[in-house]
Amino acid sequence: MHASLNSQGTPIGAYDLLLAACALRRGLKVVTHNAREFIRVGGLGLEDWRSR
């Protein structure tokens, strides 16, 4: 995932990458207000906790 994002010129931070990888592996959503980082990861479910 890291190499793929870097080759596309859209890297994300190390901790965000780890969180995204864990969520993808387990089929979970990431609940965050920092969607601009996570939106780069294809197939990742996102939910903005401030939108509720």
Average pLDDT, integer, range 4-28: 90
Tell whether the torsion through CA atoms of 28, 16, 14 and 1 is positive or negative.
Answer: positive
Residue 1's pLDDT is 81
- pTM summary value: 0.79
End-to-end CA distance of the chain: 30
Residue 33's pLDDT is 92
pLDDT, tens only, 21-36: 999 999 999 999 988 8
Backbone angles phi, psi at 38, to 5 degrees: -75, -25
2-51 topology per CATH: Rossmann fold (3.40.50)
CA distance linking residue 23 with residue 9, whole number of Å: 22
Residue 43's pLDDT is 94
